Amino acid sequence: MSWRTLRWHAGAVLLLDQRALPEREQELACGTVEELASAIEQLVVRGAPAIGCAAAYGVALAAQRSEARSLAALARELADARARLLRTRPTAVNLAWALARMQRCEERAARAQEASVASVASALLAEAHALTAEDERICRALGRAGAELVPDGARVLTHCNAGALATAGYGTALGVVRAAVEAGRRVSVLADETRPFLQGARLTAWELQRDGIPVTVIADAMAAHLMRGGEIDLAIVGADRIAANGDVANKIGTYGLAVAAHHHGIPLIVVAPTSTLDASIASGAEIPIEERAPEEVSSRFRARNPAFDVTPAELVDAIVTEHGVHRAPYADSLPLALPAGR
Ligand code: MRU
């Protein structure tokens, strides 16, 4: 790929600015935790795994920029940084997962012999690099696992952007599409435009077109009509949080898509790394749903803007993680006890 969703450069976090795509490819440099947190809130970087990677770099940034004179002072600054980053987006559990992993790294580094502010900071930067590199490796693994579900000639409907732009690279739902194409299968994609931020019309279409994978954008309201007309074989989506019973929180509109797919006998496949699994909650009822600014929907009239919905597990035909393809009952089949990303 000729672009990166995010990268560390010269002591700052560089984000490919997803608000500007597909018109302009420009990076936004974040030199402070506040700048990075606000970029996450404004969807400069978005998608559950990418948010996790960005947050990890945010903690590394706080440590690199710190002028603390003691480990105790550094620990206080890092706790503040984690709290600020955690507040940015409530639904994607990868954020909390990445921050917890960075906290464990900090505690380990601070316990080492002759630990110093500088040694903890360098351990945290190394951990953010590792977490980000792992994310891309995991996407390739879940892509390979899910590709077996995509037959030659498949016409795949996807929603939002669960691609390279939503991860450190390669993507989750689009990772499966990419892996199927790399395995020699002909695959075409229908991308829901995904109101109101248009992740499908702008981001999914942009990155698939860059890879030469046939993509056609449709308005969200067209999906059921095309299903009824026999124009869709498979629906493949990502996830922002998956409960222990297999209920899936994903971009608003996924639930409606799942109902329509079920009605038409079209399989719905959810693709996510294990860092998106939340073993601490029994069902999707416990998933916090982010309510974004109403102005994103209408600047003129009163509007609502829940950014995610929950699809009940019974509408999900398979969940693909880096460990393979999991089927219902998900409480038994999901790798809930395994540490994420290992
Ligand atoms: O609000 P966003 O764009 O951060 O929403 C997240 C998503 O892109 C999707 O819901 C996606 O399917 C999960 S992330 C791979």
Instruction: Express each pLDDT in 226-275 by its tens digit.
Output: 999 999 999 999 999 999 999 999 999 999 999 999 999 999 999 999 99
On the question of pLDDT at 342 being above 50, the answer is no
Mutation probe of ligand 1 site: the residue of 43, 161, 207 with most atoms within 8 A of C-beta: 161
Rounded to the nearest 10 degrees, the angle between the axes of helix 48-65 and helix 117-147 is 170
Question: Is residue 94 lining ligand 1, measured as CB closer than 6 Å?
Answer: no
On the question of pLDDT at 83 being above 50, the answer is yes
Q: Nearest residue CA, atom 12 of ligand 1?
A: 238
Alpha-carbon Rg for the chain, nearest whole angstrom, is 20
What integer pLDDT is reported at residue 340 of this predicted model?
A: 56
Phi-psi group of 41: left, alpha or beta (phi > 0 → left; psi -120 to 50 → alpha; rest → beta): alpha
Structure tokens at 206: 């942009």
What's the CA-to-centroid distance between 81 and ligand 1, angstroms?
Answer: 23
Question: Is residue 90 lining ligand 1, measured as CB closer than 6 Å?
Answer: no
DSSP reduced 3-state for 24: coil
Give the helix, strand, coil percentages of the chain, each rounded to 5. Answer: 45, 15, 40
296, 252 Cβ separation under 8 angstroms: no
User: Strand runs (DSSP E) across 52-158, as ranges?
Assistant: 154-158
On the question of pLDDT at 95 being above 90, the answer is yes
Give percent of the chain above pLDDT 90.
98
Q: Residue 2 — pLDDT band, cuts 50, 70, 90? A: confident
Element (H, E) at 188: strand 187-192
- Could you give the CA distance from residue 118 to residue 96 in angstroms, rounded to a whole number? 25
Question: Is residue 198 lining ligand 1, measured as CB closer than 6 Å?
Answer: no
Q: pLDDT tens across 10-66, in order?
A: 999 999 999 999 999 999 999 999 999 999 999 999 999 999 999 999 999 999 999
Mutation probe of ligand 1 site: the residue of 240, 275, 297 with most atoms within 8 A of C-beta: 240
* Ligand 1 atom index nearest CA of 166: 15
Q: Please count the other Cβ atoms lying within 10 Å of the Cβ belonging to residue 41.
A: 14
For residues 272-284, give the mean pLDDT.
97
- Could you give the CA distance from residue 119 to residue 185 in angstroms, rounded to a whole number? 48
On the question of pLDDT at 186 being above 50, the answer is yes
67: which residues sit within 8 A by CB, 6+ positions away?
A: none
99-105 contacts at long range (C-beta below 8 A, 24 or more positions apart):
99/55, 99/56, 99/59, 101/56, 101/127, 101/131, 102/55, 102/56, 102/59, 102/60, 102/127, 102/128, 102/131, 103/78
What integer pLDDT is reported at residue 339 of this predicted model?
A: 56
- Could you give the CA distance from residue 113 to residue 106 in angstroms, rounded to a whole number? 14
Average pLDDT, the chain: 97
DSSP reduced 3-state for 94: helix
What's the CA-to-centroid distance between 289 and ligand 1, angstroms?
Answer: 13
Mutation probe of ligand 1 site: the residue of 46, 142, 160, 292 with most atoms within 8 A of C-beta: 160
* Ligand 1 atom index nearest CA of 307: 1
